[in-house]
Chains A and B, each alone.
Chain A
Amino acid sequence: MASLKNSWLSRVGIVVLAAVMVEILSIMQYEHVQQALLEETDLRSRVVMNSMAEEIQHTLERTEIIMRENLWDIKRSMAHPDSVFGAVVRLIDDDRNLVGGCLAFRPYFYPSKGRLYEPYASLQPDGTIKVEQIAGPDHDYTLNEEYLWVLENRSTSWTDPYKYGPDSLSFTTYLIPIYDEQGAIEAVCGLDIDLSWLGDTLNSRQPFPSSFGLLLTPDGELVAGPSQSRTPEEEVKQVLDVLNGHIPASDLPGVSFTRTRLFKDPFWQVVEVYKKDEIYARVRRQRRQQMLFIVLGLAILAFMINRYARNERKLREASEEKARIAGELAVAHRIQQQMLPKTFPPFVYGSLEPALEVGGDLFDFFTRDGKLFFCIGDVTGKGVPSAMLMSVAHSLFRILSQKTDSPARILESMNHELNRGNDSNMFITFFVGCLDLYSGELRFSNAGHDKPFLVNGAISLLPSKSNLPLAVFPDTQFEEQTYTLAPGTLLLLYTDGLTEAKNVVRKTFGRPRIQEVLERFRNNPDQTLCCLVTTLSEAAHAFAGEAPQSDDLTMLALRFEPDHNRSEQITLVNKESEVTRLGTFVKDFLAPLELDKKLASGLRLALEEAVVNVIYYAYPVGEQGEILINADTNGKEVRFTITDCGYPFDPTTVLKPDTTLDAQNRPIGGLGIFLSRKLMDSISYSRIGHKNVLFLTKNIL
């Protein structure tokens, strides 16, 4: 859980880091571009303003030129005071920018006109020109500063802009001194120029919708500006306040200015005002787009990291899973191998080599009551499913073979259990045998398995009838056969992993090759079974060569070696008095073994109690029956076999009496079989054909 959280955190961390880096880069770039844009705008506006200033200058100069050129007309008209009007009117007519003109004569220039004389022509809104003499007591031009300035400096001059009234147009007046032949100033000619066009010219080619141009006097007074419709008056006033230092520039943070001034009189300033927002608008738009792409890119990055991490996790999980499965298979292999017999008596040997880690083959054996129970089996297929089914079969064999000596019954019960819920359609070939180690009698039943090899004088196959394999049908009947092995007979059981071991050209090992090995073995009887099995395995592997092992290879070899030194038997009838003969028989049989008195007496007692039980209960009252008693020993073990043809009765199922009761409550009978069981190592019952067979065994070492 912690690592999951960590990996999640690290993934988020990478994306956040990338986002921060990209954002820093973007901000740097943005600042840089903003700065560049500001500079660029400034430069551009300077260029525009300069051209604008030049244009204004040029217009003003042209006005100057026109006026100077027309001075001769004025001068000529000055011969007569009233003709001056006509000259001024002609001047106005000539220049569209002129809206008025006047001549302010030196006092008493025309004696007939008095001290002051100032003829004035002005363009009226209807296009007509009105002429009048405007000098008088309330308009004494000799007191006018600019008039005086021209007289004093003998130079032309532009007045500051002015208005006649609140609704009047803005004007400026160009003042020209008019000299006589001696160079004295006779009059000052003033030409009124409408300045509204300046504002229009300045604002006709603005780079941004809300930028605007201003024309100011050197003192910062507004000459011309944008129309009201373009820029509110208030805004212009604020800008003027900043420009004139009435309020600090920080009060208008979003506004930028560029100034330039006319290089000669009237030295007006051209100011370009623009809003930073508008300059940056494009780059801001670009930045928004850029952000969109960055976010998209980061999302893709996050997605990719996530995918990568997920793939990596899946890969890791897959490899962990693989390792886990390999580990589990190794354990399964160990378990399966551990279930197989590890120690072998000299008369049995088996081996199992799975093709994969786990296999669907099996062999097993154990001895009980002087009998060797053994089996070999092969589940269809190989690998884990086969192994699991085989494990079930193995357990069933182990459990069921404890209860009966009959291979057919064992197979039937196994088959019944294996058919329960067997949806996998797998089946098992199985061979079960039970070899009496004293007599060599082999009882066996074959569920579809390969016939074992029988090696005695000759090499042949055990004549076994094939029944259906296990787990095919639940009600299969298995036929049981018997075959008596002569001393020294070898039985070799195997799975098709041996016969069908394939080489690279797909040829199989086959029975003839097995037969060759068996032939050599037969001629060399000192060889152990282990040696035989190993030789066969090596031969199969050598034959297969480079070809991989295609199936589990399993073999089980056993040899009947009767090692008992004595076997005796007696037949009794079902009479109590026969017990005396039985006593003598047992004592005689045991005497050569020179057993401890207590042990010998116990063996006798156990046999007597078991036989008495048969005498009393096996046959109907009054009916005579025979009881066959076999006594066998190999010097290590004593085995009694009691055979009768009476009612089927398994004395091993009789309940154990309560040996703790007091005398009054103790039942008189029921003690016999209990004593037998106590005194022997094992007692087992088999119903073979119509006979009850009871085996009693005891280790005497």
Chain B
Amino acid sequence: MTTTIQETDERIIAVLSGEMDTAAAAQVEKELQPLLDSKGKEIVLDCKELEYISSSGLRVLLSILKQAQCVGSRVVLKNVNDVIRDVLDISGFISIFDVE
């Protein structure tokens, strides 16, 4: 599981690739720490290469969203594949994130 963060003037883009299982979640949470300080910029989570996510992964995404909402930032999930979309669907997360 790897993460890459690119920051522009308007948005912070985090590219997630690999499998975000319970074992990986703690590391990913640490790596995505910069997103918690978004300063009102839009946060884009690019899931193009994300192959798997467990409930621990969802929890990481939820904590980012909660923090962003506190500072008035938007969180967008991009390029979500069917597997991930299915999990978002079942968990009801699809309605609290902006999924593009």
Contacts and interface: CB of A to CB of B under 8 A. Distances in A.
Given A598-B83, A663-B69, A608 B21 contact: yes
Interface string B81-100: 01100110011100110000
Given A597-B82, A608-B54, A671 B91 contact: yes
A598 B82 contact: yes
A675 B55 contact: yes
B87 A605 contact: yes
B22 interface: yes
Interface of A is mostly: helix
Contacts of B90: 659, 675, 678-679
B71 interface: no
Given A583-B19, A675-B87, A668 B95 contact: no
A659 B92 contact: yes
B39 interface: no
A663 B66 contact: yes
B28 interface: no
B23 A576 contact: yes
B73 to A, nearest CB: 12
A700 to B, nearest CB: 16
B23 A580 contact: yes
A663 B65 contact: yes
B59 to A, nearest CB: 5
A664 B67 CA distance: 9
Nearest to B25: A576
Contacts, number: 73
Interface in B16-32: 19, 21-24, 26
B3 interface: no
- Best-buried of B65, B82, B83 by chain A (most CB within 10 Å): B83
A662 B96 contact: yes
A579 B22 contact: yes
A511 interface: no
Contact of B23 (A577, A604, A605, A672): A577
A659 B69 CA distance: 19
A524 interface: no
Nearest to B54: A608
B50 to A, nearest CB: 11
Interface residues of B, number: 27
B57 to A, nearest CB: 10
Contacts of A602: 86
Contacts of A577: 23
A191 interface: no
A605 B52 contact: yes
B54 A663 contact: no
B62 interface: yes
A202 interface: no
B79 interface: no
A664 B19 CA distance: 26
A671 B58 contact: yes
B55 A671 contact: yes
A660 B23 CA distance: 27
A597 B84 CA distance: 11
B4 interface: no
Interface of B is mostly: helix
Interface string A667-695: 01101101100110000000000000000
Nearest to A604: B52
B49 to A, nearest CB: 14
A146 interface: no
Contacts of B2: none
Given A576-B22, A601-B52, A671-B55, A666 B82 contact: no
Nearest to A605: B54
A609 B62 contact: no
Contacts of A663: 62, 65-66, 69, 96
A601 B86 CA distance: 10
A612 interface: yes
B59 A669 contact: yes
Contacts of B87: 605, 675
B21 A583 contact: yes
Nearest to B87: A605
B24 to A, nearest CB: 8
A605 B52 CA distance: 8
A609 B55 contact: yes
Given A609-B54, A671-B91, A579 B69 contact: no
A213 to B, nearest CB: 132
Interface in A560-607: 576-580, 583, 597-598, 601-602, 604-605
A573 to B, nearest CB: 13
A612 B96 contact: no
Nearest to A677: B90
A668 B62 contact: yes
B41 to A, nearest CB: 18
Nearest to A615: B22
- Best-buried of B51, B55, B83 by chain A (most CB within 10 Å): B55
B23 A601 contact: no
A320 to B, nearest CB: 60
A604 B36 CA distance: 30
Contacts of A578: 23
B96 A666 contact: yes
A679 B55 CA distance: 13
B92 A660 contact: yes
Contacts of B96: 662-663, 666
B22 A608 contact: yes
B17 to A, nearest CB: 16
Interface in A637-667: 659-664, 666
A664 B21 contact: no
A668 B91 CA distance: 12
Interface of A: 576-580, 583, 597-598, 601-602, 604-605, 608-609, 612, 659-664, 666, 668-669, 671-672, 674-675, 678-679
Given A578-B23, A660-B92, A664-B66, 14 more contacts: A576-B23, A579-B23, A579-B54, A580-B23, A598-B82, A598-B83, A601-B83, A605-B52, A609-B54, A612-B55, A663-B66, A669-B55, A672-B54, A672-B55
26 contacts: A576-B22, A576-B26, A579-B22, A579-B54, A580-B24, A583-B19, A583-B23, A583-B52, A601-B51, A605-B87, A608-B21, A608-B22, A609-B54, A609-B55, A612-B55, A659-B91, A659-B92, A661-B92, A663-B65, A663-B66, A663-B69, A668-B62, A671-B55, A671-B58, A675-B87, A675-B90
